[in-house]
Amino acid sequence: MGGRIKSKAAVTATPEPGKRGSIALEIFQQVDKLMGDEKLGRTAAFTRIAEQTGRKVGAIANNYYRIARQQGVPLRARKGAARSGRPPVTASAASGLLGQLAEVIRQQEQELEKLRKENSRLAEVRKLLGS
């Protein structure tokens, strides 16, 4: 689960200023350095860099994780549907589930009506028996 890269060969090159992705690569390297040298966690490193650069913490994190995924850094699974292993529910799937639910409710109503009739008959038998 650690975020440290075993081989830094792919990210040790100095990013070319002005080249697309250079800021993200720079941020990735800064976070990696803070995590290694100062033993900071990712969140603390993001916060420190955000304070130093005037950027938002979310922007720093976004840049870091984009490069981390490109570099194959092992990361925890993202939250949400992908994490649970279940796909998100689509409108058509929801409609199908609602249809199934309606059918179950209809069957339960029929069963309840049947039980009410049986209860009424049982009440008549009790009346005849005098209980």
pLDDT at 127 exceeding the cut of 50: yes
pLDDT at 89 exceeding the cut of 50: yes
pLDDT at 9 exceeding the cut of 60: no
pLDDT confidence band for 114 (50 / 70 / 90): very high
Within 13 Å, how many C-alpha atoms sit on residue 4's CB side? Answer: 9
- Read off the pLDDT of each residue in 100-117 and give the average, rounded to a whole number: 96
**49-83, pLDDT tens digit by residue?**
999 999 999 999 999 988 888 888 888 776 654 55
What is the Cα–Cα distance from 50 to 54, expressed in whole angstroms? Answer: 5
What is the Cα–Cα distance from 59 to 51, expressed in whole angstroms? Answer: 12
